[in-house]
Amino acid sequence: MSPRASARPHNHSPGDPVLAAAVRAGELAPSLHGTRPWRLGREGDRITVGTDPDRRLEIADPDAREQVISCGAALFTVIVTLRAGGRRPVVRELPDPDRPGLLAEVTAAGAAEPSPNDRMLHESIGLRRTHRGPFPFDVDDVRTVRTLASAAAAEGAVLRPLGDERLVRSLAGLVAAAEFLHRCERDTGEELDRWVRGPGRPGSDGVRAEDFPPPERVADALFPERDFGRGRVRGMLDAHGDVAGTAALLSTAGDARGDHLAAGRALQRVLLTAAAGGVASAFHTQPLEEPHLRAFIGERLCEGGHPQMILRLGREADARSHPLFASAADPE
């Protein structure tokens, strides 16, 4: 199904405006190629989060691992919106073995005073953006990196910043190898083409030409960007900077569906915490879409854990920290 033709089913019945806001906020979560591969529904005081089979990337993501991670990010966005709105969410993950597409049910069980961290994370939902290309400035702040690692740990995942330049270059080489391999594969290119929108094309799905740089802007980048344009659509993003940023790996101890869901929650908590601190994030999933490369990264760079996301962290402006971030406690 074409992403531009597919409908987004919702059952926004009248009622609690906080629940309606939570569903809308869930749609702002990050997803591979902007596919938004989830189904968010609402019935009374319960919100459901599930997969949308029409939006799974069958070539890049045959096992639906990245789809479930995206849905986990949407789930966390729903949860934090309910908390910030003064509701106490009760979450049941993978509630029905006979319905594998249903990933979670979230019930607003009553009133609860939001914490400063809940408010900070919620206010960051609209600030978060996927960065593409180099950064003008690195994070250059140990406290910030530790806070982001704590955010991942709060959701049962591990965020490992790579401090050794040799390891960073090794990881960058694996990203490059996978990216250039994918550029040679016709099926991969055709699947990507369906989710790239040319300049001025309407719609909220996919990756817009305005959101990725032209090839010459990132030709010498240490971590090569995905070639969204494929020679058909020219990127229009004016990417400034020559800093790769801080490379980091997000991993989980297990690699089952529940672990992928946890990885998505952890990813979104990290991204919202980063956005509150003025830190932008870039993603490189290319080598994680190759089973042998993913296994190698897990063994050599994740201490046997299962890598779920490769990130680069940096600043788009020379700012140390957002005031909210500076005053908030570490994630719970």
Q: What is the pLDDT of residues 223-274, one digit of tens each?
A: 999 999 888 899 998 878 889 999 999 999 999 999 999 999 999 999 999 9
Q: Running DSSP on this structure, what letter comes out for residue 4?
A: T
Looking at the structure, tell me whether residues 179 and 76 fall in a common domain.
Answer: no
The two three-digit tokens of residue 3, written as one number: 């992403």
- Give the pLDDT confidence score for residue 331 in this predicted structure: 35
The two three-digit tokens of residue 176, written as one number: 């490059």
* Alpha carbon distance 50, 205 (integer Å): 18
Looking at 99, 124, 149, the residue that finishes a domain is 124
Looking at the structure, tell me whether residues 68 and 188 fall in a common domain.
Answer: no
Q: Is 211 helix (H, G, I), strand (E, B) or coil?
A: helix
Does 11 fall in a domain?
Answer: no
Does 180 fall in a domain?
Answer: yes
- Give the pLDDT confidence score for residue 14 in this predicted structure: 52
Supply the range of the domain harboring residue 118: 17-124
Query: Which CATH number belongs to the domain containing residue 225 in this structure?
Result: 3.40.109.10
Exposure pattern of 64-81 as b/e (b: 16+ CB <10 Å)? bbbbbbbbbbbbbbbbbb
Q: How many structural domains is the chain composed of?
A: 2
- Residues whose CB falls within 8 Å of the CB of residue 293, separated by 6 or more in sequence, listed in order: 174, 177, 178, 287
Looking at the structure, tell me whether residues 24 and 115 fall in a common domain.
Answer: yes
Looking at 71, 103, 124, the residue that finishes a domain is 124
Does 166 fall in a domain?
Answer: yes
Phi-psi region of 67 (alpha: psi -120 to 50; beta: other; left: phi over 0): alpha
Looking at the structure, tell me whether residues 76 and 159 fall in a common domain.
Answer: no
**Is residue 330 pLDDT above 60, yes or no?**
no
Q: Running DSSP on this structure, what letter comes out for residue 315?
A: E
The two three-digit tokens of residue 309, written as one number: 């996301």
- Give the pLDDT confidence score for residue 328 in this predicted structure: 41
**Is residue 169 pLDDT above 90, yes or no?**
yes
The amino acid at residue 36 is R
Q: What is the pLDDT of residues 92-123, one digit of tens each?
A: 999 999 999 999 999 999 999 999 999 999 99
Q: What is the pLDDT of residues 70-94, one digit of tens each?
A: 999 999 999 999 999 999 999 999 9
The two three-digit tokens of residue 187, written as one number: 């099926």
Does 237 fall in a domain?
Answer: yes
Looking at the structure, tell me whether residues 120 and 141 fall in a common domain.
Answer: no
The amino acid at residue 180 is F
Looking at the structure, tell me whether residues 72 and 190 fall in a common domain.
Answer: no
Looking at the structure, tell me whether residues 281 and 258 fall in a common domain.
Answer: yes
Looking at the structure, tell me whether residues 102 and 151 fall in a common domain.
Answer: no
**Is residue 168 pLDDT above 80, yes or no?**
yes
**Is residue 1 pLDDT above 60, yes or no?**
no
Does 5 fall in a domain?
Answer: no
The two three-digit tokens of residue 101, written as one number: 């597409």
Does 130 fall in a domain?
Answer: no
Does 1 fall in a domain?
Answer: no
Contact of 199 with 209, CB cutoff 8 Å: yes
The amino acid at residue 26 is G
Looking at the structure, tell me whether residues 264 and 148 fall in a common domain.
Answer: yes
Helix H segments across the chain?
Answer: 17-26, 65-84, 116-124, 142-153, 165-182, 186-193, 257-276, 291-301, 323-327
Looking at 124, 149, 168, the residue that finishes a domain is 124
* Alpha carbon distance 255, 236 (integer Å): 37
**Is residue 38 pLDDT above 80, yes or no?**
yes
CA angle (142, 144, 145) in 5-degree steps: 65
The amino acid at residue 38 is W
Q: Is 312 helix (H, G, I), strand (E, B) or coil?
A: strand
Looking at the structure, tell me whether residues 73 and 146 fall in a common domain.
Answer: no
**Is residue 327 pLDDT above 50, yes or no?**
no
Neighbours of 97 (CB within 10 A): 7
- For the segment 138-143, the average pLDDT, to the nearest whole number, is 91
The two three-digit tokens of residue 88, written as one number: 């106490």
Does 9 fall in a domain?
Answer: no
Looking at the structure, tell me whether residues 176 and 310 fall in a common domain.
Answer: yes
Nearest CA to 70 out of 314, 313, 266 is that of 266
Contact of 243 with 296, CB cutoff 8 Å: no
Looking at the structure, tell me whether residues 176 and 300 fall in a common domain.
Answer: yes
- Provide the whole-model pTM: 0.91
Q: What is the pLDDT of residues 288-309, one digit of tens each?
A: 999 999 999 999 999 999 999 9
pLDDT band of 319, cuts 50, 70, 90: low
- For the segment 60-79, the average pLDDT, to the nearest whole number, is 98
